[in-house]
Chains A and B, each alone.
Chain A
Amino acid sequence: MLKIENLSVYYGYVRALKEISLEAREGEITCLLGANGAGKSTTLQTISSLVKARSGSIKFRGVEIGGHDSAKIVDLGITQCPEGRQLFPSLSVQDNLVIGAYKVKNRSEALENRSTVYELFPILSERRRQLAGTLSGGEQQMLAIGRALMASPSLLMLDEPSLGLAPKITEQIFDLLIKLNKEKNLTILLVEQNANAALKISTEAYILETGSIALHGSSESLAKNDLVREKYLGA
């Protein structure tokens, strides 16, 4: 569904990504692992067109999308739940969701998406009038995911959804991702530091090291790989 080939990204003179290639296949959960500063977030930001690539190609359903502006990427059905939630803190929970559907032209579709999100996260429905900045960390993460679902995406990208959350909440979030993937057939590209959990729910995995893909394979095989176990799974 999403195919990246030889993508290079620079911040000034600093190279953040060096000719990486990866693929997120339709209907699957693909995960992208790596240490801090490996280039995981840069990859997602480049897909969302917040950062411009120096060279390489990004294809979505076979069509080149590198160079499109961020609004066009959302139109195509690619949304991102960014690292650290990045909510609109002084807007209500409901307004955060409404703005998530900014590009949805059809009113009834937007309303339908909203009730779906409230079904997935009943706590958000209870707190719909509350300002987003006053939610707990876990609730904020739910809202961030909900907001990314509001634009009816076909590819959802998540940047470290487990960051700073208690293990129990992390588990809930990951269960939800499985549910979205299975029941709504949503394709997911997941960036994580929590390699254990990410390898469990994904089918394919890529490991980034200082801007290059160091390893790639089925999640099952990577979970058994000695190098991965030592470096990322702490076993």
Chain B
Amino acid sequence: MTNFIQQILLGLRDGSLFSLVALGIVLIFKTTGVVNFAYGNMGMFSVYIAYTFLIYAQVPLWLSALIAILFAFFLGVAVERGLLRQVRNMSHSAMLILTLGILMILEGLSLQIWQQDYRNFPNMVGGARIINFLDGRIILRNQDILVFVVAAVIMLGLFAYLKFTKVGLAIRATSQNERSAKLMGIKVGLIFAVSWGIGTALSSVAAILAAPRTLVHPNMMLSLQIHGLTAAILGGFESLPGTVLGGLLLGIVEQLVANYISDELRLAIALVIILVLLMVKPSGLLGGKSVERV
């Protein structure tokens, strides 16, 4: 029983990272209609920025992380403004291919600058808590607790931002009808840039939190990106609560499979879930009702 609870908690920790990654992917997709394949690598690149500040410039950890997140925000804005907007009127596949190009450029660039060594990245907080529970103990590292808290705060913050602020409303309106949004006087270009900025910053937060376990290297975000996409699909690429729920469930299922069946099936499970869900319920866990009337 204790082991089961321990596994659920570990699953929730992974799941909150998946949800964070997925939220950024969905936010960018909803507003600009692009599935950003470079998403994970943009976060990866920002971790290298944090690493560089931390190790070479001896900047404190929290400050390095903050610099990296800010860097990611502006990287997102720059990619949207400088690259995607130029091909926006061509086609969706043009934008998609562009993000694939960015993925490869960032990977190559980080290989060139930082080589392919696996580098250690410290936990934001050290130590662990041991909780005596029933017949055994549950161990919860402080870093894991931080992951929960950060993920929860960001998710709630993002929901509140989208739900209750004027800019949030403008983002939602733009995602539903770009042309009408322009007629309302919304600067659609600015909304796109802001969504890319916020989305990419989320990738950076997830990458920084994951870095102590994945280590810092050019492919560090590969698995998180796949899991994030799976969570996004579970949410139907539409519903933010569905996305979070999808990410958490995926984390738990994987952890249970890894623990009770086989660790090697971990990633396969994510891919099987994508396949099955796309065939059975493409609108996502909480999807299914379309409100538009013709």
Contact = CB atoms under 8 A, between A and B. Distances in A.
A75 B187 CA distance: 12
Contacts, number: 77
Interface in A58-93: 69-71, 73-75, 79-80, 82, 86-91
Contacts of B183: 48, 50, 70, 74, 79-80, 82, 86, 148
A1 interface: no
A80 B179 CA distance: 11
Contact of A86 (B166, B169, B180, B293): B180
Contact of B169 (A82, A87, A98, A103): A98
Contacts of A80: 183
Question: Which of B169, B185, B291, B292 gathers most chain A CB within 10 Å?
Answer: B185
A86 to B, nearest CB: 4
Interface of A: 48, 50, 69-71, 73-75, 79-80, 82, 86-91, 95, 98-100, 102-103, 131, 133-136, 140, 147-148, 151
B177 interface: yes
B293 to A, nearest CB: 6
Contacts of A79: 183
B170 A99 contact: yes
B172 A88 contact: yes
Interface in B179-206: 179-187
Nearest to A73: B185
Nearest to A102: B184
Contacts of B291: 89-90, 131, 133-134
B223 interface: no
B173 A133 contact: no
What is the size category of the interface that chain B forms with chain A?
A: 10 to 19
List 6 tightest A-B contacts by C-beta distance, closest first.
Answer: A74-B185, A133-B291, A103-B185, A71-B185, A86-B180, A70-B182
Contacts of B292: 89, 133
Contact of B186 (A71, A73, A75): A71
A162 to B, nearest CB: 18
Contact of B176 (A89, A136, A140, A151): A89
A82 B180 CA distance: 8
Nearest to A80: B183
B180 A87 contact: yes
A73 B187 CA distance: 12
14 contacts: A74-B185, A75-B185, A87-B177, A89-B177, A89-B291, A89-B293, A90-B176, A90-B291, A98-B166, A99-B186, A102-B184, A133-B293, A134-B293, A135-B293
A112 to B, nearest CB: 17
Question: Which of A70, A73, A82, A100 gathers most chain B CB within 10 Å?
Answer: A70
B169 A151 contact: no
Contact of B184 (A69, A74, A134): A74
Nearest to A157: B183
Contacts of B293: 89, 133-136, 140
Given A133-B293, A151-B185, A86 B177 contact: yes
B180 to A, nearest CB: 4
Given A74-B184, A133-B293, A99 B179 contact: no
Contact of A50 (B172, B179, B187): B179
Nearest to A101: B184
Contacts of B182: 48, 50, 70-71
A136 B176 CA distance: 19
Contacts of A134: 291, 293
A1 B158 CA distance: 43
Contacts of B181: 99
Contacts of B176: 88-91
A136 B294 CA distance: 9
Interface string B258-272: 000000000000000
A88 B173 contact: yes
Nearest to A150: B184
B169 to A, nearest CB: 6
A232 to B, nearest CB: 27
B186 A102 contact: yes
A88 B180 contact: yes
A66 to B, nearest CB: 16
Question: Which of A71, A134, A135 gathers most chain B CB within 10 Å?
Answer: A71
A48 B177 CA distance: 16
B241 to A, nearest CB: 14
Contact of B166 (A69, A90, A102): A102
Interface string B12-29: 000000000000000000
A99 B169 contact: yes
Nearest to A89: B292
Contacts of B173: 88, 91, 95, 99
A48 B293 CA distance: 26
Contacts of A91: 169, 172-173, 176
